[in-house]
Amino acid sequence: MKNNLQAAMNFQDFNQPPTIVIAIIVQPSQVKYTNQTDKNISISAILAILVITGITLGRFFRYRKRKKECQQQALEVIREIEALNKIPKETTDREKQLSLQRKKQIETLEKIWNKTP
């Protein structure tokens, strides 16, 4: 106790106000926690970027696929229209051939009827 009193008296002899030192000691668990939050933030940012990129690429590929499907459907429609346009021409050609055949048949029948008295 005497040593403490003497130290206190010596301290008072200098006429300086007592100073208080406050030190913040960071424990290793807290350091790990802050590092973990930084890692969690960076992992979250990477995942968010990947999700956004995935959604964007998915929509782009879906757009390209639908565009190709639309082009194929348009080609099919054009082919069907062309096929339908050819049908009347074929029928008129057939009708012409049938009408020629009928005329020939009629002529032969007339000849047969005319030959027989």
pLDDT (0 to 100) of residue 61? 96
Residue 22 pLDDT grade (very low, low, confident, very high; cuts 50, 70, 90): low
CA distance 73 to 53: 30
CA distance 30 to 37: 11
Residue 51 pLDDT grade (very low, low, confident, very high; cuts 50, 70, 90): very high
If DSSP codes are grouped into helix, strand and coil, which group holds residue 26? coil
Residues sharing a CB contact under 8 Å with residue 11, sequence separation 6 or more, in sequence order: 18
Question: Is 21's pLDDT higher than 60?
Answer: no
pLDDT (0 to 100) of residue 117? 56
Question: How much is the pTM?
Answer: 0.39
pLDDT tens for residues 70-100?
999 999 999 998 888 877 676 677 777 788 8
Residue 16 pLDDT grade (very low, low, confident, very high; cuts 50, 70, 90): low
pLDDT (0 to 100) of residue 63? 95
Diameter of the chain by CA atoms? 170
In one-letter notation, the amino acid at residue 12 is: Q
Question: Is 50's pLDDT higher than 90?
Answer: yes
